[in-house]
Amino acid sequence: MRRISVFGATGSIGESTFDLMMRAGGPEAFHTVALTGGRNVTRLAEMARALRAGVAVTAHDDCLPALRDALEGSGIAAAAGSEALLEAADRPADWVMSAIVGAAGLAPGFRALRHGTTLALANKESLVTAGPLLMAEAARHGARILPVDSEHSAIFQALVGEDLAAVERIVLTASGGALRDWPLDKLAKATVAEALAHPNWSMGPRITIDSASMFNKALEVIETREYFGVAPEQIEVIIHPESIIHSMVGYRDGAIMAHLGAADMRHAIGYALNWPERGELPVARLDFAALGRLSFRAPDEARYPALRLAREVMAVRGQAGAAFNAAKEIALDHFIGGGVGFADMAGIVEDTLAALSRETGLGNAPMSLQEVLAADLRARALATGIASDLA
């Protein structure tokens, strides 16, 4: 039986992963090594019982008593804290889902690679903050990283049997998020609830707001560059409101391979779970006659400064990805907390990058995970100061 661990099991990606595992037979089909979550320990314990996991880990020490209570009599071990997350990653597993949200997902996934595992990577922040380190670590240990972000899974699938050298362009599709049709002057005053109303995808709250600001797409452009190793100029972004085409690869003969499907993350999660085969998946089938048409438009950089910032980050590389992501996380915290406006987030990130660049120069490539985390911490401190001044 395949040994599986799921990091971030209680989140949106975690729930979809759990759903696919249960449909495939749950504990009869998989040996679940570890499940991790954050504050939702009731759900974590339910999942651990259903899959008969070896250990359930909450990221937060103060949640441990509640997790222990919820697991009482199950024989499942309970643990808490960041060290426990790393210990869970050290437990041998054949397939590990990395679906913690934010930079907090980097260290556990990185650790799992050491054991030569197949890492199903939803946590795009890992590649944005530490792409070169992560890819080198996987190569060093004969581990494999399978992309779970829908765009990157689409690209990965469009590349099967093809030569990367024949790739001319990669076209990332973007829904445009909840506010895509809002006039620019109204956009600045968007509330959290408005940014959370995603038209197509059902996702965790942070990535949903990042979709509306296009910070999500900005992270994905960098993720594409780091995972597939293509040049930044080869990566395009196109707004595709229907979210039917999940992304495309253009080859030097002008042919374009696209991945189409319903906007359901179980496409990408299931592909990674069944890889290198294809399994039956419980996703809706497309009815083209009912769809009628697919539409596209170019993203407006005045609306979406995040896309321009992603280009700047790719030009610098080094610590810029870690700083960009950390500043974005802080800006998002302040937007959610009500301290700054929707349109202020990009300014906070831009000012943080500029300040850090003056301080240390962003181009120094981190040689270790510790250096990535140090750049992340410094950017968080700077971004917090900038956001507090604004509020």
The angle that helices 305-316 and 320-336 make with each other, rounded to 10 degrees, is: 150
**Backbone torsions φ then ψ of 119, nearest 5 degrees:** -100, 110
Q: Does residue number 42 form part of the binding site for ligand NDP (CB under 6 A)?
A: no
Q: Does residue number 143 form part of the binding site for ligand NDP (CB under 6 A)?
A: no
Residue with tokens 């400064």: 305
Binding ligand NDP by CB under 6 A: which of 40, 74, 234, 364? 40
**Backbone torsions φ then ψ of 2, nearest 5 degrees:** -70, 135
- Which parts of 57-76 interact with ligand NDP (CB under 6 A)? 59
When CB distances are held under 5 to 8 angstroms depending on the partner's kind, the choice from ligand NDP, Mg ion, none that residue 204 binds is ligand NDP
Q: What is the smallest separation between the CB atom of 389 and ligand NDP, expressed in angstroms?
A: 26
When CB distances are held under 5 to 8 angstroms depending on the partner's kind, the choice from Mg ion, ligand NDP, none that residue 319 binds is none
The angle that helices 41-51 and 64-71 make with each other, rounded to 10 degrees, is: 40
- At residue 16, the 3 state secondary structure works out as helix
Q: Find the helix or strand (DSSP H, E) in which 249 lies.
A: strand 245-251
Structure tokens at 301: 């950089």
Q: Spell out, one character per residue from 288 to 327, where the chain touches ligand NDP: x when CB under 6 A holds, - when not.
A: ----------------------------------------
Q: By C-beta, is 33 or 106 nearer to Mg ion? A: 106
Q: Does residue number 207 form part of the binding site for ligand NDP (CB under 6 A)?
A: yes
Binding ligand NDP by CB under 6 A: which of 265, 307, 331, 387? 265
When CB distances are held under 5 to 8 angstroms depending on the partner's kind, the choice from ligand NDP, Mg ion, none that residue 230 binds is none
Q: What is the smallest separation between the CB atom of 337 and ligand NDP, expressed in angstroms?
A: 16
3 state SS for 165-214: HHEEEEEEEECCCCCCCCCHHHHCCCCHHHHCCCCCCCCCHHHHHHHHHC
Structure tokens at 307: 């896309």
Q: By C-beta, is 150 or 352 nearer to ligand NDP? A: 150
Q: Residue 322: name the closest of 134, 154, 147, 176 by CA.
A: 134
Helices H / strands E in the chain, number of each: 17, 11
Q: List 121's β-bridge partners, or say none.
A: 98, 147
Structure tokens at 218: 């900005």
Q: By C-beta, is 89 or 237 nearer to Mg ion? A: 237
Q: By C-beta, is 243 or 319 nearer to ligand NDP? A: 243
Half-sphere exposure of 314 (CA within 13 A, CB side): 24
- Which parts of 136-175 interact with Mg ion (CB under 5 A)? 149-151
DSSP secondary structure of 59-70: S-GGGHHHHHHH
When CB distances are held under 5 to 8 angstroms depending on the partner's kind, the choice from Mg ion, ligand NDP, none that residue 13 binds is ligand NDP
When CB distances are held under 5 to 8 angstroms depending on the partner's kind, the choice from ligand NDP, Mg ion, none that residue 10 binds is ligand NDP
- Which parts of 105-134 interact with ligand NDP (CB under 6 A)? 105, 122-125
Kindly list the residues in this chain that would bind ligand NDP in the complex (CB under 6 A).
Answer: 8-14, 37-40, 59, 99-101, 104-105, 122-125, 149, 201, 203-204, 206-207, 265
Kindly list the residues in this chain that would bind Mg ion in the complex (CB under 5 A).
Answer: 149-151
